[in-house]
Every structure is written in structure tokens, then in C-alpha cells.
Amino acid sequence: MSNLDELPQTGFPRLKSILAPNGPIPVSKSTWWAGVQDGRFPQPVKLGERITVWRVEDIRALLEKGAD
């Protein structure tokens, strides 16, 4: 996991902006959701019935932790 430059400083990106090929995290959707359930990945924020986003600060922290 790398390249923090691809993410904005603040905001709420959707999953398509987080996962590869458009985003910096190279895992599949099923791996991502399994990681959310077991605590490896950040919890989402529901903005509506069909809109799920993540805090970009949480994604940046995940990427920084993985770069250690």
C-alpha cells in the first residue's frame, strides 16, 4: 500500500477511489470488506441508504501504518 499523493487531504472518498486500479490500496472488494469486518481496515461512514464512504484521514493513517 502506498502513494498518499493520490488521496485528497480531507474528504470522504468512496470505495472506487480507495481500491486499485483507481486508488492506492491493491486489494479486492471482498478482501476489503472482510478487513473492515475484522478490524484490519477502517470502518465506513454511511451517508445514505446506498452511499458508503470512508474518512480520508483513516485511509491515510492505514497507508502510513503499512509503509512502516
Separation between Cα atoms, residue 9 and residue 7, nearest integer Å: 7
DSSP code of 48? E
This model's pTM is above 0.85: yes
To which H or E segment does residue 53 belong? Answer: strand 51-53
Separation between Cα atoms, residue 33 and residue 39, nearest integer Å: 10
Least confident of 2-6, 22-26, 60-64: 2-6
Q: Predicted confidence band at 6 (pLDDT cuts at 50, 70, 90)?
A: confident
CA angle 21, 41, 25 (to 5 degrees): 15
Report whether pLDDT(3) > 70.
no
